[in-house]
């Protein structure tokens, strides 16, 4: 074997996004023990940084060791007990994943199904909530990376309050790019990933639980069946205000990276970061239109950090993406499910949300599209 030297890429897909040199440098620092007082002090700062980015004061806010899907699993297995019903809004690939987790938890999904690429219809959701008073939890994907559609999370939270339900929201690609106000909107559980709009290395996933959610978990009839994802035992390590006890060996360098990312977000200001993503989305819309590329969904429901661009008629999706990668070092995401081969998922996330990257991509596409 020889050392691996990855080629340079500009990652303009649905994540991961590129890291800033500051974050890469953080990962080359010396390793500390996972209970070292300096490391534990840094974890406290990570927690405060996550509270800032999520706009929450929730004491139970942490980064779990694992990808966004692990945070999704943690939310499901803690909030829903086996045998309980949960409402799941489905309008794309990742909401189907959440449904699958509900089923594997031996819970009962109550489906609210919308066509892929369409927004969650609040009237249909409200009718379902009313029809199922025993489904105490509502699950929703805030920003559906498979289609580019962003849900009206605040209005969904309002509905949950009206009917006294708990809201579990997937914000994997949204955190750090879309406006999120966990406390003001009253979201019970929100989870994310590190590798998208946070522009951190993959594998440390933010999650927050409201006091109300923690109370529900404390009053469960059955223990969480899955040892690793039981938030109650994880808190012995992440909990603050108490002595830290071993739970698992944390991914030390990934947490250094997250800490540095969060420093950078505080320096930029979260509101400025949200604004930057919207500005880049609007700029990209205009530039794509200028070269004849259309977007799958109307701008009013499109998430700021991802463009589901229709592959032009007669063009081979794979050939164009391969050429972009090989000749320009640019990675785009492929379509999923019914949109496989039909759309490109183009992300301008975190470090990559700059108009110069839009210009670079548009220029490259212009050169490639005339050849095919
Ligand atoms: C909306 C959404 N949820 C969940 C996930 C899963 O995250 P991960 O790939 O980090 O497990 C993704 C990843 O793309 C996503 O876009």
Q: How many Cα neighbours within 13 Å face the side chain of 30?
A: 4
In this predicted model, what pLDDT tens digit does every residue of 67-88 receive, in sequence order?
999 999 999 999 999 999 999 9
| Cα-to-centroid distance, 227 and ligand 1 (Å) | 22
Residue 197 Cβ contacting ligand 1 at under 6 Å: no
In the structure, what pLDDT confidence band is assigned to residue 372 with cuts at 50, 70 and 90? confident
> What is the atom index within ligand 1 of the atom nearest the CA of 67?
10
Given a contact cutoff of 8 angstroms between Cβ atoms, the answer to whether 276 and 222 are in contact is no
pTM for the model = 0.97
Return the pLDDT at 224: 96
CA distances for 112 relative to 138, 150, 203, angstroms:
10, 16, 30
Domain map (residue ranges) of the chain = 10-14+271-369, 21-266
Residue 192 Cβ contacting ligand 1 at under 6 Å: no
Q: What is the mean pLDDT of residues 251-266?
A: 98
Atom 9 in ligand 1: residue holding the nearest Cα: 68
> What is the atom index within ligand 1 of the atom nearest the CA of 174?
1
Return the pLDDT at 29: 97
In the structure, what pLDDT confidence band is assigned to residue 371 with cuts at 50, 70 and 90? confident
Return the pLDDT at 243: 75
Atom 12 in ligand 1: residue holding the nearest Cα: 172
| Cα-to-centroid distance, 18 and ligand 1 (Å) | 16
The reply to whether domains 10-14+271-369 and 21-266 share a CATH topology is no
pLDDT at residue 132 greater than cutoff 80: yes
The proportion of the chain whose per-residue pLDDT surpasses 70, expressed as a percent, equals: 99
pLDDT at residue 18 greater than cutoff 80: yes
Neighbours of 356 (CB within 10 A): 9
Residue 69 Cβ contacting ligand 1 at under 6 Å: yes
pLDDT at residue 259 greater than cutoff 80: yes
In this predicted model, what pLDDT tens digit does every residue of 163-206 receive, in sequence order?
999 999 999 999 999 999 999 999 999 999 999 999 999 999 99
Residue 14 Cβ contacting ligand 1 at under 6 Å: yes
Lookup result for tokens 């440390």 = 204
Which fold is adopted by the domain 21-266? 3.40.640
Return the pLDDT at 244: 84
In this predicted model, what pLDDT tens digit does every residue of 275-296 receive, in sequence order?
999 999 999 999 999 999 999 9
Return the pLDDT at 240: 61
3-state SS class at 91? coil
pLDDT at residue 349 greater than cutoff 80: yes
Q: What is the mean pLDDT of residues 7-32?
A: 98
pLDDT at residue 242 greater than cutoff 80: no
| Cα-to-centroid distance, 142 and ligand 1 (Å) | 11
Instruction: Spell out the CATH class of 10-14+271-369.
Output: alpha beta
Residue 51 Cβ contacting ligand 1 at under 6 Å: no
| Cα-to-centroid distance, 334 and ligand 1 (Å) | 14
| Cα-to-centroid distance, 133 and ligand 1 (Å) | 30
In the structure, what pLDDT confidence band is assigned to residue 236 with cuts at 50, 70 and 90? confident
| Cα-to-centroid distance, 172 and ligand 1 (Å) | 6
Residue 118: which of 154, 158, 150 has the closest Cα? 150
pLDDT at residue 154 greater than cutoff 90: yes
Residue 111 backbone dihedrals phi, psi, to 5 degrees? -80, 135
**100-114, 170-184, 242-256, 334-348: the lowest-pLDDT one:** 242-256
| Cα-to-centroid distance, 54 and ligand 1 (Å) | 17
């Amino acid at each position: 074997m020889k050392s691996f030297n990855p080629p340079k890429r500009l990652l303009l897909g649905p994540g991961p996004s590129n890291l800033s040199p500051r974050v890469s440098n953080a990962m080359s620092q010396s390793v500390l023990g996972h209970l070292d007082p300096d490391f534990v002090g840094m974890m406290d700062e990570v927690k405060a940084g996550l509270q800032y980015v999520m706009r929450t004061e929730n004491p139970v806010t942490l980064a779990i060791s694992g990808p966004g899907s692990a945070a999704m699993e943690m939310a499901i297995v803690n909030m829903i007990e086996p045998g309980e019903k949960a409402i799941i809004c489905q309008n794309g690939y990742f909401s189907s994943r959440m449904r699958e987790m509900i089923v594997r938890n031996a819970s009962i999904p109550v489906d609210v199904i919308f066509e892929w690429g369409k927004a969650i219809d609040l009237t249909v959701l409200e009718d379902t909530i009313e029809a199922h008073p025993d489904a105490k939890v509502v699950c929703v994907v805030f920003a559906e990376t498979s289609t580019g559609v962003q849900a009206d999370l605040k209005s969904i939270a309002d509905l949950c309050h009206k009917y006294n339900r708990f809201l579990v929201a997937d914000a994997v690609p949204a955190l750090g790019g879309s406006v999120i106000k966990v406390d003001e909107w009253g979201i019970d559980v929100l989870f994310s990933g590190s590798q998208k709009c946070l522009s951190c290395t993959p594998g440390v996933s933010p999650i927050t639980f409201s006091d109300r959610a923690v109370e529900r978990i404390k009053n469960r009839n059955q223990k969480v069946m899955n040892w690793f994802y039981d938030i109650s035992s994880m808190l012995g390590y992440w909990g603050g205000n108490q002595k830290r006890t071993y739970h698992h060996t944390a991914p030390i360098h990934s947490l250094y990276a997250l800490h540095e990312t969060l420093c950078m977000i505080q320096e930029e200001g979260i509101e400025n970061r949200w604004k930057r993503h919207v500005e880049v989305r609007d700029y990209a819309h205009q530039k794509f239109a200028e070269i004849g590329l259309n977007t799958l969904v109307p701008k009013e429901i499109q998430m700021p950090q991802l463009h589901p661009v229709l592959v032009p008629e007669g063009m081979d999706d794979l050939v164009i993406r391969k050429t972009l990668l090989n000749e320009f070092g640019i990675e785009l995401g492929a379509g999923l499910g019914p949109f496989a081969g039909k759309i490109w998922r183009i992300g301008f996330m975190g470090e990559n949300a700059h108009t110069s990257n839009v210009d670079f991509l548009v220029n490259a596409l212009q050169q490639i599209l005339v050849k095919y």
